[in-house]
Structure formats: structure tokens, C-alpha cells
């Protein structure tokens, strides 16, 4: 599942995340004349150069990150203290707007910190991160527990001035107030101290959890010999050979412990015993009973989260988490998931029966196991639809998909993407390429798009989007520096990179996040975030354009002949759109349901392994599939708090996506209808978090989303009525 990151730090960002999601404050004002190293100065420096300034990736090194963080936090605290001690009566301008101007130095440090954390990790950085995580947590706690500052924010939020503010200013005041009130500002004495201490403990545990998963991803590699490659494509074999060579195993073939390597291997390898080994290696990340095992960490994380929200008066962590999201309550989120779950299980059982029939007809003499699912699903796909995933892959060149995304962005958003001259913009790795984004009509500069597409050692798995600089107009126009990051397997030099249909969908999805950044039209940085169960909606919607005729006919070209995808193959793809929907929905929902279960139960004395097994058994989880993210490597939930008690947000957002897609399908111009595109950009992309998501969706659709749309979309029987909101 895709993970969306926001690398932006303004004070109002605290309203969008809990105090332990991002840095906090143990420092005090420091003498800003203190001598700094060249690396520390480079990390903190104002961004200069073309395109309104860019990160100096060519001038920084990891040795300066700790000092830069410390200096940035110190300056941020001094700025906040000045606001808190202002003798003038609190106003929106001298309190809320003033806070929007704080943290500029620190906001320049975090893109580097994020790169070293996600794209270019190393043992050296992990040591730094382990040391700095609790310090950063303490930094934010010191701000959110600043009584003098909270009193000013509260005075503005509850004062007469609120009625005269613009709607976006009222929203900013609300978010800022919630950033305090929901993160410990109302606590005193021992309770306030304990709250801050819990945040620091959690930051350390989150960091350790993520490092343990990364260790297992890097350390457990399955090496094959030439006689163990049966069923695999030439492209996959070449990539596996390159991966082995890069790990000093020349002459062998490496199946790395990432989804992008595991999934195609399980789909095509005819070596069942090796499929089982690769499956176990992948799904046992963080669960190997060694010093990197995460089960005890999960139990401790859950206990601390529960204790923390009880200090605030909440029954459980999920109730606290969902209070200001679209779902509002854990019960509402569970209702949506449990409406879909029985249909997913029924479809899984049908899929397994189809696969078992194929295996029996072959005389395989096996019972379908989880490591067989992808392999036999592919055989069923061939049998039912005569659709060969490897045949489809020949039309899915990574470079062509990128150009297709640019076309869609031009049609819907009026954006143009132009490669910047190589060397004119610093990058952190040779694989990273950069494009300038402009308005097609006016030529106005909008920002830069960085693409880091390939897997490598030290890069976390999955796909994600992030910003190095977000749009705002409040304190001078800020253009966007956005990035997409993937883990495609890099082919041999000069060879085109071919990807699966699922990977192509993910590529479009993450680009949807980038378009959300570039389409932003807000005044304040604190309105640039999102509500977690809504923020995936826009990117999930963009996946729909992959299967439009304009994309298929012009960009899905055969890798060898250059011919467009034939009509017969297109028809097969569209006929099979809901193929294997049981598997994809079921493995995701299993993780989402477990996430909610963990965060609504009393965690005292919880045995994580037993709880996972017993909860899934209670849901009648089919034995032939497994959670998409098993608990010991469920980074969304336990390597931080961005998606904790929030993994349900993908299906919540997808219920909006299904409903919005029907609006495009009903429009005269379909997915390229000009009027619908304008409504899309104005109501769903440009406003970011300056308006309540439920209102934004109604402005787009004219009504709330219908939950039945997601059932129709997935080919499931419609079994209930009700609004997604």
C-alpha cells in the first residue's frame, strides 16, 4: 500500500499530526552566532539557485544533520517564545499568522532528514535518527505544552475576531487550536510530564520498529542458481542477476525481500518450494525471534498510546485518532469495512476454488497455500480471460507511463512537464531526474517534480510521495518542490523497465499526490496537509486514468514493435478489471481491521502474535491469504503514527473514489470532460485542507458519496445503504 509523506514543517503543521509524529522541543533559545560546521551551515542555508531556490543536495553530507536539527529547533523555540510572551492582546495576526512564520529554518532541514531516512538510509544515519527521535519528540511537546502560547491560541479561537475572519483563516485557527488541545496542552503537572515522556518513548520505539524491518529487508535475500529460474521472464532474470552482482553474488540471481521482487517471483516461478521460502522470508519480516523481532515492540507501543490518550480522557487510541477525521468514530470506520469484508471473503473462496480446480486438473496434488495464490491466480486469469500478465507487461514501459501521466496532468490540470537540463538542479542520487512544472497556457512556473524510481540498498520499500517545499502565498509566493519515489527493479543498462499493471496503477496513484501538491492554491502553509482518511482519495482517483483510451492508445506501446496495445488485449484487460478482487480487497482489509482492533482493545498484557491469529480467526480469514502487512512489519501502524488506527483510510477514500469515478463516467466527455476536470481541480485538489473534506466533496459532487458505489466498483453485491461520510 502506498504511503504518503508530507515533508513540511510550519508550526500549524502540528494541528495535522500528533506531537510524536514529528519533531518536538527540549531546547531553549541559543546564541545564533555559534560557530557551525560547513555541512551544518549548508543544511540550514536558504535555498538558492534556479526555480526560486532548490535543496543543495550537492553541498550537504550526513555529518551536519544533527547540528542542523538542533540549531533549527532552537531558533524555532525562540520564535515561538517571542509569540507567547507578546504583551499585546492575542489576535489572529500576532498569534496564528505569526506562528505560520515560525520554523522556516527547520523546514529546510527536514527534506534532507527525510531523504537520509527513506531514500538513502545507512547505519550511520540510523544511529543519528535513534539519538534524535526522542529529542525531536521533546521539541514538539515543549511547543504543544506551552501554556502561555496555548492561552493565546485559545483566546483567538474563542474570541469575537473569529467571526470576521475569512473561512480559510477560521479553518487555520481551528487546526492550530486542535494541534494544542489534542496533543497535551490541557494537561498540567505530572500528567503533562508523563505525556511528553510517552511521546519520547514512542518516538524511540517507532524508529526501532522501522529499523528492524529495514534490517530484515536488507539482510534476507534469496539467491538462486540458473537451474532455479523456471517460469521467470527474461527481464526479471536480468534484474535479479544485476541485484545479485550488486551484492557481491555475481553469477547468481537475487530475490530481494521487497514486494517489487517477491510478488512477480511468486506469480511466475514454477519452483513451489522456493516460492514457499520467498513467501515466508517476506511475510516474516520483523518476526524472526531475534534481536530485530518487533512483536514486543508492538505491545509496548500499544500500551503507551493507550496510556497517552487516557490522559486526555479518551476511551481508546482509535477514538482519539478518528475524532477529527471524516469517519469521526471507530464504529463508522468499522461499519464500512465490515460491510465490504463478507463480500471479499466470499470472492476469495470463489477464487481459491477456481485455482484449486486448475491445480487438480494439472495433477499437482496440492492444496492451495498462500505462496500458491499469485501463481495459480495467473493461471486462472489465462484460463478465464486469456489474459497473460507478462503479455500486458510488454506494453507497460516505465518511461511511457511517465509521459502518459504528464499527458493526463496537461488535460486535467493544464500542467506541462519539461526535463530540466542535467546538472542544473542538484539531486541526491544519480537515478533521480527532475522536471519543471509550468502552466501550459501562461508558461508560469509552478514547481519542480523529482522522480526517484528504482530500488536500492538503503531505500525503504514501497512507493510514496513527498514535498521538499509546499505551495503558499502568505509570506511570499512559494512554488512546489514535489517528489515521487518508487522501488521498480532497475534493468540492465539500456534496457527498458517493464512493470506490472498493479505497479503502473501505483505509479499513477503516487503521481496523484504530486498533482495535489502542484495544484495547491492556499495562503497558509498550515492548510497544506490533509485529513488522513481523505488524503488518499485524490490519488486513488487518478489511478482511473491509466485505463482510459487516451492513455492506452498513445502510451501503452509494445516494447519491441512500438505498436499500440491491440483492441483484443484491451478488451481482455477491461473484462478482467475485477479479477482477483477478493485477494486484493481481502489482504488489505485484513490489515485495516487488525489495525483498528489493536487500537480499540485494552493492550494490557496483550500477546501480539496470539491476538493477530485469534482476531483473524474471528473474522473467518481465509487460510489461503495473509494480511498485506503482518503486524511485525506493519510500518503504517507502528513505525510512526501517520496511519495508526488510520489504515482504514484507504478504503474510506476509495468509497469516495468509486463515487467520483461514476461522476466522470456519466459526464459527456468522460474522464476528460472539461467541466468535470474544472470541478475536480477547484474543489478537490486546489483547496487542500482549507475546507472541511466533507464539504469539499459535496461541492464537487453535489451530494455526499454513496457507499454502494464501492461495492459496484469492485463487482461485489450491494448489501447495504448509507453514506461514506
pLDDT-based confidence at residue 20 (cuts at 50, 70, 90) = very low
| pLDDT of 19 over the 50 cut | no
Q: Quick check: 81 pLDDT over 50?
A: yes
* Half-sphere exposure in the Cβ direction for 526 (13 Å, CA): 26
* Cα-Cα end-to-end distance for the chain: 22
For the segment 592-604, the average pLDDT, to the nearest whole number, is 97
User: Which residue segments constitute the domains of the chain, with CATH numbers given?
Assistant: 3-186 (1.10.1370.40), 220-283 (no CATH), 295-387+579-638 (1.10.1370.10)
Residue 218 pLDDT greater than 50, yes or no: yes
Is residue 59 very low, low, confident or very high in pLDDT (cuts 50, 70, 90)?
A: very high
Residues paired with residue 439 on neighbouring β-strands, in sequence order:
415
Higher per-residue confidence, 7 vs 83: 83
Which one, of 50, 43, 46, 48, lies nearest residue 424 by Cα? 50
Q: Is the pLDDT of residue 9 over 80?
A: no
**Assigned C-alpha cell, 229:** 529460474
Q: Give the chain's mean pLDDT.
A: 92
User: In this model, does residue 27 exceed pLDDT 50?
Assistant: no
Checking DSSP bridges between strand 445-454 and strand 433-439, what pairing results, if any? antiparallel
> Residue 32: its pLDDT value, please?
43
| Residue among 336, 340, 320 nearest 328 (CA) | 320
Q: Which residue has the higher pLDDT, 35 or 228?
A: 228
Distance CA 44, CA 60 (A): 10
Q: Mean per-residue pLDDT for 571-580?
A: 91
pLDDT exceeds cutoff 60 at 3: no
Q: Is the pLDDT assigned to residue 462 strictly greater than 80? A: yes
Cα–Cα distance, 445 to 254 (Å, whole number):
43
pLDDT at 529: 84
pLDDT at 535: 87
Distance CA 202, CA 210 (A): 12
Question: What number is the average pLDDT over the span 595-610?
Answer: 97
pLDDT tens digits for range 277-333: 999 999 999 999 999 999 999 999 999 999 999 999 999 999 999 999 999 999 999
Q: What is the DSSP letter of 64?
A: G
Q: Write down how long the chain is.
A: 725
Q: Is the pLDDT of residue 111 over 70?
A: yes
The answer on pLDDT for 108 being more than 70 is yes
Q: Provide the pLDDT for residue 590.
A: 98
pLDDT at 272: 98
On whether the CB atoms of residues 509 and 540 are closer than 8 A, the answer is: yes
Q: How many whole angstroms separate alpha carbon 255 and alpha carbon 60?
A: 33
What is the per-residue pLDDT across 480-516, written as a single tens digit (0 to 9) for each?
A: 999 999 999 888 888 899 999 999 999 999 999 999 9
Question: What pLDDT score does 531 carry?
Answer: 87
- CA 361 to CA 632: how far, in whole Å? 37
**pLDDT value at position 52?**
93
User: In 3-state terms, what secondary structure has residue 704?
Assistant: coil
What would the grid cell of residue 643 be? 496511519
What is the sign, positive or negative, of the torsion defined by CA atoms of 542, 548, 550, 551? positive
pLDDT number for residue 33: 46
More confident residue, 669 or 30: 669
DSSP assignment string, 1-45: --EE------GGGGGTS-GGGS---------TT----HHHHHHHS
Tell me what pLDDT residue 724 has.
38
Question: What confidence score (pLDDT) does residue 719 get?
Answer: 60
The whole-number average pLDDT for the span 391-419 is 97
Helix (H, G, I), strand (E, B) or coil at 454: strand
Note whether 705 and 659 are within 8 A (CB).
yes
Q: What is the C-alpha to C-alpha distance for residues 3 and 22, in angstroms, rounded to an integer?
A: 16
Closest CA to 664 of 676, 675, 655: 676
Q: What is the pLDDT of residue 309?
A: 97
- The distance of Cα 415 from the centroid of its chain, to the nearest Å, equals 23
Whether residue 153 contacts residue 176, with contact meaning beta carbons closer than 8 Å, is answered with yes
- Looking at the DSSP assignment, which residues form a beta bridge with residue 434? 450
> Average pLDDT of 542-562?
96
Q: How far apart are CA 143 and CA 140, in angstroms?
A: 5
- Determine the pLDDT at residue 34: 55
Segment 226-254 mean pLDDT: 95
> Residue 453: enclosing H or E segment and its boundaries?
strand 445-454
Percent of the chain with pLDDT over 90: 87
Q: In whole angstroms, what is the distance from residue 490 CA to residue 243 CA?
A: 9
Q: How confident is the model at residue 16 (pLDDT cuts 50, 70, 90)?
A: very low
Residue-level pLDDT at 260: 86
**The pLDDT of residue 96:** 98
Evaluated on CA atoms 84, 87, 89, 93, the torsion sign reads negative
Residue 608 pLDDT: 97
Q: Give, as one character, the DSSP assignment of residue 183.
A: T
The per-residue pLDDT for 382 is: 92
* Cβ atoms < 10 Å from Cβ of 101: 14
- How high is the pLDDT of residue 156? 98
* Distance (Å, whole) CA 640 – CA 60: 26
The Cβ-side half-sphere exposure at 511, using a 13 Å CA radius, reads: 27
Given a cut of 80, whether residue 670 has pLDDT beyond it is yes
Amino acid at each position: 500500500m502506498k504511503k504518503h509523506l508530507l515533508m513540511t514543517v510550519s508550526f500549524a503543521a502540528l494541528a495535522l499530526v500528533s506531537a510524536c509524529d514529528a519533531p518536538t522541543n527540549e531546547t531553549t533559545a541559543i546564541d545564533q552566532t555559534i560557530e557551525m560546521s560547513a555541512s551544518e551551515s549548508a543544511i540550514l542555508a536558504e535555498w538558492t539557485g534556479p526555480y526560486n531556490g532548490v535543496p543543495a543536495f550537492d553541498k550537504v553530507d550526513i555529518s551536519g544533520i544533527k547540528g542542523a536539527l538542533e540549531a533549527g529547533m532552537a531558533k524555532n523555540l525562540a520564535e515561538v517564545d517571542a509569540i507567547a510572551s507578546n504583551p499585546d492582546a492575542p489576535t489572529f495576526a500576532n498569534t496564528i499568522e505569526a506562528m505560520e512564520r515560525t520554523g522556516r529554518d527547520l523546514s529546510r532541514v527536514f527534506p534532507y532528514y527525510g531523504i537520509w531516512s527513506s531514500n538513502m538510509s545507512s547505519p550511520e544515519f540510523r544511529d543519528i535518527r535513534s539519538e534524535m527521535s526522542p529529542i525531536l519528540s521533546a521539541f514538539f511537546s515543549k511547543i504543544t505544552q506551552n501554556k502561555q502560547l496555548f492561552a493565546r491560541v485559545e483566546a483567538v479561537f474563542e474570541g469575537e475576531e473569529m467571526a470576521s475572519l475569512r473561512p480559510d483563516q477560521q479553518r487555520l485557527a481551528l487546526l492550530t487550536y486542535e494541534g494544542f488541545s489534542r496533543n497535551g496542552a490541557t494537561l498540567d503537572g505530572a500528567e503533562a510530564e508523563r505525556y511528553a515522556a510517552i511521546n519520547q518513548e514512542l518516538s524511540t520505539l517507532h524508529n526501532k520498529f522501522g529499523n528492524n524491518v529495514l534490517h530484515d529487508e536488507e539482510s534476507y535475500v534469496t539467491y538462486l542458481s540458473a537451474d532455479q529460474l523456471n517460469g521467470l521472464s527474461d527481464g526479471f532474470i536480468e534484474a535479479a542477476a544485476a541485484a545479485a552482482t550488486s551484492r557481491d553474488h555475481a553469477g547468481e540471481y537475487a530475490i530481494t525481500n521487497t514486494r517489487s521482487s517477491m510478488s512477480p517471483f511468486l506469480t511466475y516461478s514454477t519452483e513451489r518450494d522456493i516460492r514457499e521460502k520467498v513467501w515466508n522470508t517476506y511475510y516474516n519480516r520483523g518476526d524472526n525471534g531475534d534481536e530485530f523481532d518487533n512483536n514486543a515492540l508492538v505491545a509496548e507501543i500499544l500500551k503507551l498510546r493507550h496510556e497517552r490518550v487516557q490522559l486526555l480522557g479518551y476511551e481508546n487510541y482509535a477514538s482519539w485518532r478518528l475524532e477529527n477525521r471524516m469517519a469521526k468514530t471507530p464504529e463508522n470506520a468499522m461499519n464500512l469495512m465490515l460491510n465490504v469484508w463478507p463480500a471479499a471473503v466470499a470472492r476469495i473462496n470463489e477464487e481459491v476454488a477456481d485455482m484449486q480446480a486448475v491445480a487438480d486438473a494439472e495433477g499437482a496434488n496440492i492444496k492451495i497455500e498462500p505462496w500458491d495464490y499469485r501463481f495459480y491466480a495467473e493461471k486462472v486469469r489465462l484460463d478465464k480471460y486469456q489474459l497473460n500478465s507478462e503479455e500486458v507487461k510488454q506494453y507497460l514501459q516505465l518511461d511511457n507511463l511517465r509521459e502518459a501521466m504528464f499527458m493526463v496532468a496537461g488535460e486535467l490540470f493544464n500542467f506541462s512537464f519539461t526535463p530540466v537540463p542535467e546538472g542544473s538542479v542538484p539531486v541526491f542520487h544519480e537515478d533521480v531526474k527532475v522536471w519543471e512544472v509550468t502552466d501550459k497556457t501562461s508558461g508560469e512556473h509552478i514547481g519542480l517534480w523529482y522522480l526517484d524510481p528504482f530500488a536500492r540498498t538503503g531505500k525503504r520499500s514501497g512507493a510514496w510521495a513527498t514535498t521538499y517545499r509546499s505551495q503558499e502565498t502568505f509570506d511570499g509566493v512559494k512554488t512546489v518542490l514535489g517528489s515521487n519515489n518508487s522501488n521498480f527493479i532497475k534493468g540492465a543498462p539500456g534496457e527498458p523497465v517493464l512493470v506490472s499493471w498493479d505497479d503502473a496503477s501505483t505509479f499513477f496513484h503516487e503521481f496523484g499526490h504530486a498533482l495535489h501538491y502542484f495544484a495547491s492554491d492556499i495562503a497558509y502553509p498550515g492548510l497544506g496537509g490533509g485529513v488522513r482518511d481523505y488524503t488518499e482519495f485524490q490519488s486513488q482517483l487518478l489511478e482511473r486514468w491509466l485505463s482510459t483510451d487516451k492513455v492506452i492508445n498513445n502510451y501503452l506501446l509494445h516494447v519491441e514493435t512500438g505498436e499500440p496495445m491491440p483492441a483484443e488485449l484491451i478488451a481482455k484487460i477491461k473484462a478482467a478489471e475485477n479479477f482477483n478482487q477478493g485477494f486484493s480487497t481481502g489482504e488489505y482489509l485484513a490489515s485495516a481491521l487488525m489495525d483498528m482492533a489493536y487500537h480499540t482493545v485494552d493492550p494490557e498484557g496483550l500477546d501480539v502474535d496470539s491476538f493477530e491469529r485469534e482476531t483473524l480467526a474471528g473474522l473467518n480469514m481465509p487460510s489461503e491469504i495473509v494480511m498485506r502487512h503482518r503486524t511485525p512489519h506493519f510500518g503504517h501502524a507502528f513505525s510512526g503514527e501517520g496511519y495508526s488506527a488510520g489504515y482504514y483510510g484507504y478504503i474510506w477514500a476509495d468509497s469516495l473514489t468509486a463515487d467520483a469515478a461514476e461522476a466522470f463516467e456519466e459526464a459527456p466527455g468522460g474522464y476528460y470532460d472539461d467541466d468535470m476536470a474544472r470541478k475536480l481541480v477547484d474543489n478537490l485538489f486546489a483547496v487542500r485542507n482549507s475546507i472541511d473534506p466533507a464539504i469539499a466533496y459535496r461541492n464537487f459532487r453535489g451530494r455526499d458519496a454513496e457507499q454502494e458505489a464501492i461495492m459496484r466498483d469492485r463487482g461485489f453485491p450491494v448489501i447495504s445503504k448509507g453514506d461514506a461520510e
